Chains A and B, each alone.
Chain A
């Protein structure tokens, strides 16, 4: 029940295309859903995050779509650029108890081809 399942494992997108990464969770106590971006040799960096009271959040070219009833959320990268090539992790956490730390998905390696 603590797992966050992420797909696909890897993704190749042409420059200018849309990258879509999906995640699913089981624990309804989760109330915070961030996405992290990681470049080689660096730690993950917070990209964008959403709480379950909204269905969508957009920041620049990055959008999170959230479906509370399906317990799924996704990251959309519009107009994908080669500089977006990185590993992306979804995560989830709650407040207190066993949910008070981020549980991460297994990551998606995104390659944007020029």
Chain B
């Protein structure tokens, strides 16, 4: 597609439920990133996929968070047993290999009640 597509745009879930957030990167972009943006905060790195290399998971805040990227394209971020502190905007970005120019999606606003 023309841009990075994220779904859903908004998600309200009950504490303790699992959620899945989807990211569809720009066609041909081999690098894919997930960031979290809490209210009034900067962008916190979560995970990075580059081609067929092992992902860089160094930013995942706990083992409740996981992500996968199937076929080098679509990525899913899963949060298990959601907590209120998980409420944030989850942003996905993609870039060409070796190109630092990220293109971000519009994000998924997650609210845990």
Interface residues of A (CB under 8 A from B): 6, 32, 34, 36, 41-46, 49, 89, 91, 93, 98, 100-107
Contacts and interface: CB of A to CB of B under 8 A. Distances in A.
A104 B93 CA distance: 13
B45 A106 contact: no
Given A43-B105, A44-B43, A89-B43, A101 B56 contact: yes
A43 B48 contact: no
Nearest to B59: A101
Contact of A101 (B33, B42, B101, B106): B33
Contacts, number: 50
Contacts of A36: 104
B48 A100 contact: yes
B106 A43 contact: yes
B91 A32 contact: no
B62 interface: no
Nearest to B89: A43
B107 interface: yes
A6 B56 CA distance: 25
Contacts of A98: 58
